[in-house]
Amino acid sequence: MPEQTAVKIPGVLTVKQLADALNQPVTLVIGKLMQFGVLATINEDIDFDTAAIVADDFGILVEREIDPSQEQIRQEDMVSNTSEVTTRPPIVTIMGHVDHGKTSLLDKIRSTNVAGGESGGITQHISSYQIEIAPKAGGEKRVITFLDTPGHSAFEAMRRHGARITDLVVLVVAADDGIKPQTVEAINHARAMSVPVLVAINKIDKTEADLDKVKAQLAEHNLVPEDWGGKTITVPVSAMTGEGLDDLLEMILLSTDLRELKANLDVPAVGVVVESNLKPGVGPVATVLIQNGTLRTTHYVAMGDVSGRVRTLTDHRGRRINEATPSMPVEISGLSGVPQFGEQMMVFEVERDAKEAARTFLRSQSAKRAAGQTIAIQSAGQKEGQKTILTLVVKADAKGSLEAIRDQVSVMKNEDVEVRVVSDGIGDISEGDITMASTAKAPVIGFHVRIPSAVKQLADREKVSVTLFSVIYELFDAIRSALAELMPEITIEEELAKLQILARFRDNRKRVVVGGRVEDGTLTPKQLVKVMRGKEVLAQGKLITVRRGKDEVRQVLAGSECGIELDLTGEVTDIKEGDTVVLYRLEKQKKPLGL
């Protein structure tokens, strides 16, 4: 392995400078930064450590270039930049099981909290919206952004793009129904994204409502309610009567206030597409949730393979606005096409750069497709009695995601196969993980973590398979596929044809000769046969020859009559007209996993 020469970069540099130094498209660098939770635009400064992580992800080694005078200037720049940093409204997503009241809750909150007493009669413009609340104690009005409940798969799509768009998940659980499969799925999503969860226990107006039961179920899923000594905030509400909704909003603000959500108004905007469509008379539009910076009309933008100059900006109430600030959902027109849900939006100073970003994206997409995106976990498994065990070493980026993986994996078993996590932990894959995996003959899987190049080399030497995932359901699917591969083989009978016996002819030595009509399939010689009477098997053997009239033929199709010669064992003498001859082939197949 030749020694890699390090690329020299300063202690603080702009995203553009880093992209140039690494010889990578700036859009890719911004995308990678997002994956690591850093929202930075093209001209924004990042520090050396952040730059080094991004570089490492590209497999490029960087070294800090010392230039004290430059450093000083840059540091001063950064301080002055921070003066533009403001608090942004929290972005809240409502999730939960179907029919537990997500839509009703969003509608009720919207209709009772629209600014300026304009409630009612407002046509729903875009489905994500902001509300304003005047705090009970007086003071400034507060804003909360509600993202329209994206389906769980939509959430995954966002995650795939590295977008962590929501600050808080409000988990809706119906008080009369309790925790259901999609509730658990939502909990796992929130954990995998390391997003805090607040629980709204809905439908408390119903007589069947049972708060204690729901709380007990929450505790079972590691969401122990505060009044039970845990950390999870639960708010009883009714989307129908409106009871508890003020408390819910207050709790949302309280729990997100602690985290001091910041954004910079004075940088080019970045955002994520949360909705898009083709509007008659307007053309392609996209609703973008602004994550940082300020977006203005006339800005050039790119999102995925689409670019354009912002013609109009429309807020959630259908009003034209000139600029959109962080945490605002805003509809943009002027695009070259309809962008995909979950794409990142970036702003460029000139049209050429926006177009180039869209082209680069397209190129990287086709490269990905060409590389084949299927991710497989390699394992021969380990026999333990009748069972085959898929041992795994698991690494994840956060406690929440690791718990979600553990939870799901613990139920992935049947009578033939089982998953066993021999070691797990938080953080990038280390040499210790590879050594452990090698000893335990276990593949390593990583979720939202990286593998430093030295560790990768060790894994190659030790022949340890390492698979990295950034989408939790791809990880689960890959484990399921690996398990399916470990399932034992079973032999199944594939039916080829059926013949109804119309007459029994002479027996020829040990062989039975019958005539009949092919009812189903195509009859061909030299196949296995069973002679059946109803469900009972009378005899078994082989089909020797097939004749039509005097001629021996190679096949007879359904609907035709023919004579066949059979070599059989069993109740041979008993066979008579009305019985059925079933022609079949034995095929080896993996037993279905059923998980």
CB atoms inside a 10 Å sphere around CB 58? 14
Q: Does 557 bind ligand GDP (CB under 6 A)?
A: no
Residue 238, CA distances (Å) to 119, 149, 172, 206 in order: 19, 18, 11, 9
Quick note: the x/- pattern for ligand GDP over 224-243, rule CB under 6 A, is --------------xxx---
What the block records as the tokens of 87 is 């608090």
* Cβ neighbourhood burial of 336 (10 Å; 0-12, 13-18, 19+): middle
What is the rounded (10 degree) CA torsion for 454, 459, 465, 469?
-20
CB 36 → ligand GDP: shortest distance, Å?
Answer: 33
CB 206 → ligand GDP: shortest distance, Å?
Answer: 5
Q: Given the DSSP bridges, would you call strands 528-533 and 580-590 parallel, antiparallel or unpaired?
A: antiparallel
105/303 with CB nearer ligand GDP? 105
Answer whether 386's CB lies under 8 Å from 414's CB.
no
HSE of 199, CA atoms in CB hemisphere, 13 A: 31
The one segment of 96-104, 274-282, 383-391, 582-590 that binds ligand GDP by CB under 6 A: 96-104
CB 218 → ligand GDP: shortest distance, Å?
Answer: 17
The one segment of 102-110, 431-439, 443-451, 529-537 that binds ligand GDP by CB under 6 A: 102-110
Measured in degrees and rounded to the nearest 5, phi and psi for residue 541 equal 170, -140
Cα–Cα distance between 228 and 310 in angstroms, integer?
Answer: 51
The one segment of 198-206, 382-390, 465-473, 581-589 that binds ligand GDP by CB under 6 A: 198-206
Q: Does 38 bind ligand GDP (CB under 6 A)?
A: no
CB 238 → ligand GDP: shortest distance, Å?
Answer: 4
CB atoms inside a 10 Å sphere around CB 559? 9
Q: Work out which of 24, 70, 104, 360 binds ligand GDP, going by CB under 6 A.
A: 104
Q: Work out which of 206, 213, 296, 441 binds ligand GDP, going by CB under 6 A.
A: 206
95/523 with CB nearer ligand GDP? 95
Q: Does 10 bind ligand GDP (CB under 6 A)?
A: no
CB 149 → ligand GDP: shortest distance, Å?
Answer: 7
Q: Work out which of 202, 234, 291, 325 binds ligand GDP, going by CB under 6 A.
A: 202
Q: DSSP 3-state assignment of 90?
A: coil
Q: Which residue has the tokens 């409000």?
A: 170
294-311 burial: b if 16+ Cβ within 10 Å, else e:
bbebebbbbbbbbbbebe
Cα–Cα distance between 413 and 594 in angstroms, integer?
Answer: 9
Q: Does 103 bind ligand GDP (CB under 6 A)?
A: yes
CB 246 → ligand GDP: shortest distance, Å?
Answer: 15
Q: Does 151 bind ligand GDP (CB under 6 A)?
A: no
Cα–Cα distance between 238 and 183 in angstroms, integer?
Answer: 18
Q: Work out which of 73, 98, 380, 490 binds ligand GDP, going by CB under 6 A.
A: 98
What the block records as the tokens of 184 is 């658990």
Q: Does 102 bind ligand GDP (CB under 6 A)?
A: yes
Q: Which residue has the tokens 């009509």?
A: 517
Query: In angstroms, how far is the first alpha carbon of the chain from the final one?
Result: 43
246/315 with CB nearer ligand GDP? 246
CB 168 → ligand GDP: shortest distance, Å?
Answer: 18
The one segment of 64-72, 203-211, 520-528, 586-594 that binds ligand GDP by CB under 6 A: 203-211
CB 29 → ligand GDP: shortest distance, Å?
Answer: 39
19/209 with CB nearer ligand GDP? 209
Q: Does 517 bind ligand GDP (CB under 6 A)?
A: no
Q: Does 154 bind ligand GDP (CB under 6 A)?
A: no
The one segment of 69-77, 92-100, 251-259, 373-381 that binds ligand GDP by CB under 6 A: 92-100
Answer whether 552's CB lies under 8 Å from 500's CB.
no
99/384 with CB nearer ligand GDP? 99
CB 175 → ligand GDP: shortest distance, Å?
Answer: 8
Sign of the Cα torsion 53, 57, 61, 62 reads negative
Contact partners, residue 584, CB within 8 Å, separation at least 6: 493, 494, 495, 496, 527, 528, 529, 530
Q: Does 205 bind ligand GDP (CB under 6 A)?
A: yes
239/458 with CB nearer ligand GDP? 239
The 8-class DSSP code of residue 123 comes to P
Q: Work out which of 32, 100, 215, 498 binds ligand GDP, going by CB under 6 A.
A: 100
Cα–Cα distance between 128 and 330 in angstroms, integer?
Answer: 9
Which stretches of the chain bind ligand GDP, using CB under 6 A? Answer: 96, 98-104, 202-203, 205-206, 238-240
